Amino acid sequence: MKKLTVLFVLIMLTVTSCVTNNPAPIVGMPRTRSIEMSPIAADSNTDTAEENRPIQIPVLYSIENAIRGIYEPTDSIYLGAWLSPGASIRDFVDIVGQRHAVFVHEMRVDEEVPVTWILQCIAALATPLIVLHPPQINDADEADLEEIEEISETLARLAQSLGAFNLPMFVVFYPHGPGPIPAHGLIPAEYALIFRQARAIFLSYAPHVAFVWAAPSLESTIRNPFFPGSDAVDWVGVSVLSHRNGYGFAADVIEAFTPFYHSFQARHPIMALPLGISHFSRADHIYHLEEAAAEITRVYQALAGFPRLGLIVYADAFGISRAMRDDFSISLESKLLAAYEDAVSARHFVSVLETNAPHGSRWVRSAFAGYLWEGQIYINTDTLTELSISLPRNTVEIGGHNFVEADRIIGRKISFCEIRQVVLMQ
C-alpha cells in the first residue's frame, strides 16, 4: 500500500510539471484565444492583408411581440426628399429616376395649408411631411404663456384643414433649429406643454397625422429637457448633415448617428431629417464631387444596418447660401445623382408608405458590433449578455474584447446578410 502511494505521488508530480507553463482554466471560466489586430504594414499586399483582418460588422437580433409606430415600415426604409421651395416633385422624380415615399414642406402654423403642394404629393403617390414652425411673435427672446394659449385655435384650424384630406401625413412640430438657442423661443416646460397640446388637437381633428419630435442634434438623448414624452411622440427625427472642413469631412456621420440611434431605438422609429453629404464648402472653395459620391454610397449602405431607421430624407434643398457654408444638394451634379440613384436602388429602400404594418417580431441593433473573419462570425459576449444567453466556455479576444464563434451559440440561428451587410441573430 505504501508503494502504491509513492507511485501515485510521482505520477502527479510528472503531470504537474508538464502543464506548469499552460495551467488549466478555473472551472466556469471561459477559455480565451486572441486574434491579432495589428495594423497593416506599409509594404504588405493590401488586399491580402485586409482578407486576414477581422471585419467589424453590426449585429441585429430579433425580438417578439414588438409594437410598431404609426407608419413604421416592417423591414425597409422609406425614401424621402427635401426640395427647394417651388421645386417640382415630378421633375425631381424624373431626374433621379426613382419614386420617393415622402416629400417635405416648411410653413408656420398661422400660414395657409399648401393645397397645391399636397396635390403634387398625391399625384406622385407620396406622403406629405410638414415641418411646422411657430407663428411670428413680438418678443423675439421668449414666448409667454398667453401667446401659447392663443395659438390653440390656430392649431385647431390647421389640424382640421389637414385632416380634411384624410391622408397619412407627418408633422414635425416646432423643430429647434441649429445652435444652442431654440428657434421656437420656448423653455423646456413651455415647449412640452405646447407640443402635447398640439398632439391632442391633431388626434382629434387629424388622426392620420404622425407627430415627429425633431431632436436638437445628434448628441441628444431620451433625457433631453425638450423631449415632450414618449406618449406624445410618434417618430423622432434628427439632422444628419456631413459638413466639410479644410481637410475633408468634419466627422463620420455614421459614428455620430450610432449613439443617438441607440438612445431612441427602443421607443420610437427614427428618421434622418435631413441627410446631406457636402460636396462643396466655403472652408476651401473646392468641389469634391467624387469624394461626396463615394460617401453617399457608403452612408446609405451603412444606414441599412439600423433597422428602426424608417425614413431617410435627402437634403436637396440645402444648397450653398448665405446661411450655409456647405452644399448638400445633388440634383444639379450628374456624378452625385448617379451615386444617389445607385445607393437608393437597393431593395430595402422603398417608395410606398406602409399604412397597416403588422405588429410582431422586429430587429434590434445590438450596442456591440460583431466580426467576420475567415468565414466565421464572432459575436460579442456583451451581446449575449443583452439577450440573457449563457456564455460558452471558449471565447476569442479581438481588439481587447471577448467574442464567441457563432456556431457555439445554442438556440439562435445566426447568418450574414449580404444585402444589408449585417449579422442576423434569429
Name the residue ranges covered by the structural domains of the chain: 28-60+363-425, 69-358
The contacts of residue 425 (CB under 8 Å, 6+ apart) are: 59, 60, 61, 62, 379, 383, 387, 412, 413, 414
Q: Omega of the bond prior to 188 within 30 degrees of 0, cis?
A: no
What top-level class would CATH report for the domain 69-358? alpha beta
| C-alpha cell read off for 4 | 502504491
Q: Is the pLDDT of residue 371 over 60?
A: yes
Q: What are phi and psi of 160, to 5 degrees?
A: -65, -40
Residue-averaged pLDDT of the chain:
87
Q: Where on the phi/psi map is residue 243: left (φ > 0), alpha (ψ -120 to 50), or beta?
A: beta
* Residue 149 Cα distances to 195, 397, 414, angstroms: 12, 60, 54
Is the predicted pLDDT of residue 236 greater than 90, yes or no? Answer: yes
Least confident window among 285-299, 302-316, 353-367:
353-367
Can you tell me the distance from the alpha carbon of 192 to that of 178, in angstroms, rounded to the nearest whole number? 19
At residue 146, the pLDDT reads: 64
| Residue 320, pLDDT score | 82
Q: What does the pLDDT look like over 284-297, one tens digit per residue?
A: 999 999 999 999 99
On the question of pLDDT at 302 being above 70, the answer is yes
Q: What is the pLDDT of residue 341?
A: 97
Q: Which residue has the higher pLDDT, 5 or 346?
A: 346
Sign for the CA dihedral angle at 346, 349, 352, 357 comes to positive
> Please, are residues 31 and 25 in contact by the beta-carbon 8 Å criterion?
yes
Closest alpha carbon to 310 in 75, 97, 61, 40: 75
The pLDDT of 294-315, averaged and rounded, is 98
Is residue 42 pLDDT above 50, yes or no? no
* Per-residue pLDDT tens digits for 243-284: 999 899 999 999 999 999 999 999 999 999 999 999 999 999
**Averaging pLDDT over each range in 32-36, 45-49, 68-72, 397-401, which range is the top one?**
68-72
What pLDDT shows up at residue 340?
98
Q: What is the pLDDT of residue 309?
A: 98
- Length of the chain as a residue count: 426
By the 10 Å C-beta count (0-12 exposed, 13-18 middle, 19+ buried), 319 is classed as: middle
The mean pLDDT of 134-157, rounded to a whole number, is 71
Interatomic CA distance for residues 193 and 189, integer angstroms: 6
pLDDT digits (tens, 9 = 90+) for 311-337: 999 999 998 876 789 999 999 999 999
Percent of the chain clearing pLDDT 70 (strictly above): 84
Question: What proportions of the chain, in percent to the nearest 5, are helix, strand and coil?
Answer: 30, 25, 45
Which pLDDT score, from 0 to 100, does residue 181 have? 65
Q: Cα torsion at 187, 193, 195, 198 (round to 10°)?
A: -140
Condensed to tens digits (0 to 9), the pLDDT of residues 154-183 reads 999 999 999 999 999 999 999 987 656 677
Give per-residue pLDDT as tens, 180-215: 667 788 899 999 999 999 999 999 999 999 999 999
Is pLDDT above 70 for 16? Answer: no
Range in 26-40, 82-96, 104-118 with the lowest mean pLDDT = 26-40
Put simply, whether the predicted model's pTM sits higher than 0.75 gets the answer yes
Q: Per-residue pLDDT tens for 80-102?
A: 999 999 999 999 999 999 999 99
Contact 211, 234 (CB under 8 A): yes
Q: Look at residue 68 in the predicted model and tell me its pLDDT.
A: 94
pLDDT exceeds 80 at position 7 = no
Note the pLDDT tens digit of each residue in 381-395: 999 999 999 998 889
Beta carbons of 273 and 172 less than 8 angstroms apart? yes
